[in-house]
Chain A
Amino acid sequence: MGQGSVNDALMPAAESHRPLALTPTEDIRGFLAFHLGRTFLFVITCTSVLAVFLIFLFVIKEAFPFLTEFSIVEFLTSAEWYPESENPRYGVLALLTGSAYVTIVALVFSVPVGVLAAVFLSDIVGLRIRSVVKPIVEILAAIPSVAYGFFAVMVLAPWMQTKLGFSTGTNALNASLVLAVMALPTIISVSEDSLSAVGRELREASYGLGATRFETIFKVLIPAAHSGIIAAVVLGMMRAIGETMVVWMASGNATQIPSPWWDLSQSVRTMTATIAGDMGETEKGSPHYRALFAVGMLLLIMTFCLNLVSEYFLTRAKRAGGKS
């Protein structure tokens, strides 16, 4: 069928005189229109590919001179980040541990709460409570990160300093707590989806065997939905690692590896905060600027890998959900 035949509906009088078959011109026009249109749509759709390509290209391009000039091993293993000193040092280890630190602590808080809340929403309460709680989760997800950062600095930090007696209110714990709140909506919605995807049959079989709700959830549902829950955790982790404003505002920005390692009341500095804080002050094209792009590249590669992991688990979850 070509495009041209649609017009015929507007001319009923001429209809009877037209042959049923299309003329060659009409046929070719229709064919071309169809395929050109499709190609056009395809090209537009490829914008996202182009965007990803350009992001990788330009970040790596800006970082490349740094990577060839300085030792990558030192970049990754040194904890000394003194880009503006006489003898500049670009060691990203302290920043890496800072990022890992706040992310892991944030996950320690948010994974149990998030998964429990997801279980609560999918299996324990009815539709009415769910329709109240869901918007709350959505609002938590909608609040912009700078507002969370503002909360961390203006409300949480003074509270920590006066009530908990920390020497500084902007520290690893503060940033982690707020990051935990920010990761919660992702964790809740993805794990709830995967829990709901586990069919009725499994639940009913379990209850039919006399299992309590607790046992059903822990022995049947969570094992069945584990791929989705892992994907949720990874997605939450990505959100926490890539978050900039909160850690920039709330983590204290001291380039150090906390010692002793469990002391959460110390300030740390993350990769994202370093980029955000330093980029405005560096000269374009200077080694410091390039080093920041190298940090950005590291960040990009890390999130890319995490993304692949989450994809893997999400597809597995989808397949498992489809089967049951």
Chain B
Amino acid sequence: MRTIIRGILNNVFTAVAGTSVVCLCMVLVAVLGPMIWRGGSAVFFKGTVEFRKMQLALFGRGNEAKIEAEQKRPEDARRFVYDAIEKFKGGIDTEALSDKARQIYRQFGSELRQTDMPGEEVAELRSITRDIRKRLEIAFASQNRDEINKALTYVNSFRDDSRFKNSSAEGLFQLAEEYATAIQGINLAERNEYRKELAEVEQILTRLLGPAPATPTPALMMDRFGATRWDQAQKLLNRLVWHEQWAQQEPNEPMVKMRTPRSQRFAGTELEGLFDIIEQQLPEMLAPKLTFYWRYFIDDSTPGHYFGGVGPEILGTLLLTVLAMLFVVPFGVISAAYLVECASDNLAVRTIRMCINTLAGVPSIVFGMFGLAFFVLFFLPIFGVPSKGCILAASLTLAVLTLPVMIRASEEAIRAVPQTYKEASLALGASGFRTFVTVTLPAALPGILTGVILSLSRVAGETAPVLFTGAVALGPMPKSIFDPTRTLSYGSYDMAVGDRLAAMVPHNQFGMVVTLVGLILCLNTLAIILRFRVSKKLAGQ
């Protein structure tokens, strides 16, 4: 009996331990999966015609004539949407109509001044048109159909007056006529609702299709183009077709999201059918095409990473890491050489070892504080460098941070060189120094290189030490090592929590972080391969 229980326990234990490893693999998939999947879409996606337009305008890429020709069809398809909205607006946007009426009135007044009509007639015409204008304004503002009809009839009674023929005053009659047709399908009492709704629709349409034709070019780059990506367009379409609202359904319950088709909200009007048509015609309007945007990795970006890529971030990260490595590798290798070859077990060496371990245990944010207090505020100003964060300060901080990693890796590599190598060299009469330089170091070099690559990958991902010493979220390309720079790591942080604009472009958020992770994993893979080859070589001989 006890044997059975023991057996069961044994198997249960094996299963539990196995589960923990399975957990590990699942965690890895859960962390990397969404990142790679969604980050990959920053590079590989269905780009719309807006994307190609943006590339042309921002980076001067692509054939201008070809893109213009390509734009023709989408523009034709879109025209219908704009026309329908313009027409609908005729009955809704009363303020604009009143403005228009006033403008025509003013124009007519100046026309009158230039004619050679007698004074009284001019005065009469002016008073009539003023009257017409006032009636029109009443008609525009009113919600009562009778009142509107009365006003419009009054306006139309002047229509055949020959004195208005061929003058700008005819615009007023046309306005009245258009208004009369426009309001036929509209519930006047809900005109304000319509206006609000229409403003929302127009806003989404601007995001989807870009600014409407014949509007001035927006100042912000991000407003100049519509949805550059098909997935973005789909999301916007969803927002366009469905109206979403948070509503309190029952008291004391959390708010619920209510979705109603937007066509329902425009029921009975001319816009009711528009949304279905947009849904069907969207591919026509945007012309999506599979795009491999490899220049993502070299392109600069507009503020908030709305358009463009991560070029400056990659450059900044490489600059920081390579500079840090330049500082740390000599120190790391020499320290390791001393610790392996010369050091005996005395107090000084024990202190050094303890310090290396302490250094390895210092939290990265404390390195950041140290970098700020020492390099930025104390050390660099001695040499006349202005005391602000810069690449040099950040890379020095990173160099201190990675020193223990480097020393340990080189120590391991030097220790791995077989004793026979050294003995053979010493037996030939070479001195200890010469043996180290000509025999041990070359044999240990691949191992040291592995250490360098691993430190490089560690440094590339560090964020906390560069927070106050030289990383910025936005800024120009650094001109020298005395300028701050953007980095992938700080950029990832900033895009995830700091930047509101970035929340609108999740593919770029994920793209940034996946670039960082990809860079680091590539470096690590390289290190693993190198280490494997070294261990095979050293074991084989």
Contact = CB atoms under 8 A, between A and B. Distances in A.
A245 B461 CA distance: 11
B400 A51 contact: yes
Contacts of A214: 6, 9-10, 13-14
Nearest to B387: A284
B335 A45 contact: yes
B174 interface: no
A124 B373 contact: no
B24 A146 contact: no
A112 B23 CA distance: 12
Contacts of B414: none
B384 interface: no
B352 A124 contact: no
A29 interface: no
Interface string A125-156: 00000000101111110111111111101110
Contacts of B370: 54-55, 58-59
A276 B153 CA distance: 71
Contact of B352 (A2, A45, A217): A45
A223 B377 CA distance: 50
A280 interface: yes
Contacts of A293: 369, 373
B378 interface: yes
Interface in A1-26: 1-3, 5-6, 9
A48 B355 contact: yes
Interface in B439-470: 457-458, 460-464, 467-468
Contacts of A121: 21
A44 B331 CA distance: 6
A236 B489 CA distance: 23
Interface stretch (A71-79, A85-93, A258-266, A304-312): A304-312
B470 to A, nearest CB: 13
Contacts of B359: 48, 51-52, 55
A22 to B, nearest CB: 13
Pick the most buried of B18, B31, B34, B356: most chain A CB atoms within 10 A of its CB.
Answer: B31
Instruction: Give the contact-size bracket for chain B.
Output: 35 or more
B23 A113 contact: yes
A51 B403 contact: yes
Nearest to A54: B374
Contacts of A2: 431
B528 interface: yes
Nearest to B356: A48
Nearest to A216: B10
A41 B334 contact: yes
Nearest to B34: A155
Given A41-B342, A116-B17, A139-B28, A48 B407 contact: yes
Interface residues of A, number: 87
Nearest to A130: B21
Contacts of B461: 142-147
Interface in B153-171: none
Interface in A199-258: 212-215, 217, 238, 241-245, 248-249
A311 B357 contact: yes
Contacts, number: 259
Contact of A116 (B16, B335, B404, B467): B16
A151 B513 CA distance: 9
A133 B22 CA distance: 9
A140 B367 CA distance: 23
B496 A149 contact: yes
A183 interface: no
B26 to A, nearest CB: 10
Contacts of A137: 24
Interface in B105-149: none
A59 to B, nearest CB: 6
A46 B351 CA distance: 9
A62 B470 CA distance: 20
A275 interface: yes
A102 interface: no
A118 to B, nearest CB: 9
Interface in B478-504: 489-490, 492-493, 496-497
B336 to A, nearest CB: 9
A311 B354 contact: yes
Given A45-B335, A58-B370, A124-B14, A242 B467 contact: no
Contacts of B342: 38, 41-42
Contacts of B524: 138-139, 142
A142 B521 contact: yes
B88 interface: no
B358 interface: yes
Contact of B335 (A48, A135, A243, A248): A48
Contacts of A120: 17-18, 20-21
Pick the most buried of A38, A244, A249: most chain B CB atoms within 10 A of its CB.
Answer: A244
Contact of B31 (A117, A151, A276, A280): A151
A47 interface: yes
B9 A212 contact: yes
Contacts of A280: 467-468
A52 B337 CA distance: 20
A137 B27 CA distance: 11
Interface of B: 6-7, 9-10, 13-14, 16-18, 20-21, 23-25, 27-28, 30-32, 34-35, 330-331, 334-335, 337-339, 342-343, 348, 351-352, 354-359, 361-370, 372-374, 377-378, 400, 403-404, 407, 429-431, 433-434, 457-458, 460-464, 467-468, 489-490, 492-493, 496-497, 506, 509-510, 513, 516-517, 520-521, 524, 528
11 contacts: A42-B348, A45-B352, A48-B359, A117-B17, A143-B520, A144-B461, A151-B35, A155-B34, A244-B364, A272-B365, A311-B357
User: Which 6 residue pairs spanning A and B have beta carbons closest together?
Assistant: A144-B461, A242-B363, A120-B17, A307-B361, A244-B464, A116-B20
